[in-house]
Amino acid sequence: MTLKMTLDDQLCFSIYSASHAIARMYRPLLDPMGLTYPQYLVLLALWERDGRRVRELGADLLLDSNTLTPLLKRMQAADLVARTRNPEDERSVLVSLTEKGHALRAQAEDMAPCVAKAMGDDMEELAELRDRLHRLRARLDGADQPA
């Protein structure tokens, strides 16, 4: 199969534009909670495992320190997270959910039906797509960089 050099034929653009569409779809759901999409992703990671090092959180979210640190500062100012020095290693900072950050989980769980409906309600198809994207990312992470 030969790819045409058009925007619509590029997998990279399809993934990029789908990512933007997903973020736009979440906006009206997150606005009432006072969250941005990146803040929501941070909360998801912390709901999964609270009390992470900033470096671990950045690795899980694929965000570098220059992006993550200002995001965490805004979240701390909004009383969603607390940042504290790691008592075991003063050079690292731990990020933990506050009571307010924990409380938003219930509201976020209420979004699931709206998200499913917006994405077509076929949960099996969405799970298959997610799994295929995970495999693609793993292959790309393991691939040699192009010359």
CA separation for the pair 18, 22 (Å, rounded):
6
pLDDT in tens, the chain (147 residues): 676 889 888 999 999 999 999 999 999 999 999 999 999 999 999 999 999 999 999 999 999 989 999 999 999 999 999 999 988 888 899 999 999 999 999 999 998 888 888 888 788 888 898 999 999 999 998 876 665
Q: Kindly report the pTM of this predicted structure.
A: 0.86
How far from 113 is each of 34, 116, 130, CA to CA, in Å? Answer: 20, 5, 17
Closest C-alpha to 38, from 28, 27, 48:
27
Structural domains of the chain ordered from first start: 31-120 (1.10.10.10)
